[in-house]
Structure 1
């Protein structure tokens, strides 16, 4: 099952970090999604806008429409968590640099 979401704006630092992790592995055997492969494609006209392509492997128990809805929900949670961790790390680095001054 494949889906794409266009219009994501990502800076270069995060883009390099994100491209190092191409496969999201889910270890819990009870989940519907086994793993999700993704890659980011830059648009030729506007290089700040990227397209996120997602290829999702599931355990095959759902119809395509239900699978799509569930996969998007899980991926939103994953990327929300990822962005939260990055923001926390940036805040810690800024706080430490301010204390050194």
Structure 2
């Protein structure tokens, strides 16, 4: 989660794959509508970040995700993991749905 924004997320550089236990997969059984940000519409919005639909997010989001301050030189869309939904290789459209709990 990007600090200062309600529903803006970006891929973590130090993040790794997070195994979801079999009994927790239903927590991710829905699609979250999103928009891939180009980084030019507003200052501080990193290129390649995802704006998620706030109605599809948990009420206490700050408890679930720690906020981060992105570096000044934001990453280009092409540098993002192509397996990641919303990145150029993972989803060719700029709008779509992130399907959680599904293998890419």
Which TM-score band applies after superposition, normalised by the shorter structure?
under 0.3
Structure of higher CA gyration radius: 1
More helix by share: 1
Q: TM-score, normalised by structure 2?
A: 0.25
Q: Higher strand proportion, which one?
A: 1
